[in-house]
Amino acid sequence: MKGEVKLLPYLDEPTSLVGKTFLLHGQPSRIESIRLHQGTVLVHFEGKDRTAAESLRGIQLFLPKSELPSLPEGAYYDWQLKGLAVVTESGKDLGVLETILYNPAANDVYETSLALIPAHAQFVLSVDLEAGRMVVSDDPGLLK
């Protein structure tokens, strides 16, 4: 379709963005359709032709938090996890979750100044957003 742009979404279900409105170059623009083509997500914004689509190259799209799709219990957005205090189940302070290392071939990894923690239930025991804390297993292999 003419006027489509490639999108690198940070969502499991990019089709949930259909109908959402973003600001593009200061103007509100609604996503009219999303389709998958050869492993790529292609988006068409309402009223955008090929020339307009080319002007969008390299921009980032953000949704207000109120527009984000809800997640199942136990799933979190990255922005909710960054900045959490990370402690072991025995109470050892491992620092603050600073970075999420994305690994499509295996588990993502949460990084603090002291540890690398696989994003897996075996290692991440609990997340308490209200308390600002993540509890991880007492595994010496997590320490840098």
pLDDT of residue 83: 98
Residue type present at position 17: L
The pTM of this model reads 0.69
Instruction: Give the residue carrying structure tokens 């696989």.
Output: 118
Residues 18, 34: Cα–Cα separation, whole Å = 7
pLDDT of residue 15: 87
User: 61 or 125: which carries more pLDDT confidence?
Assistant: 125
Inter-residue contact 57 to 106 (CB < 8 Å): no
| Phi, then psi, of 78 in degrees rounded to 5 | -55, -45
Q: Per residue in 110-139, pLDDT tens?
A: 999 999 999 999 999 999 999 999 999 999
Q: Catalogue all structural domains in the chain, each as residue range(s) with its CATH number.
A: 4-67 (no CATH), 78-142 (2.30.30.240)
Inter-residue contact 119 to 82 (CB < 8 Å): no
Q: Per residue in 62-100, pLDDT tens?
A: 777 777 778 888 889 899 999 999 999 999 999 999 999
Residues 126, 89: Cα–Cα separation, whole Å = 9
pLDDT of residue 94: 98
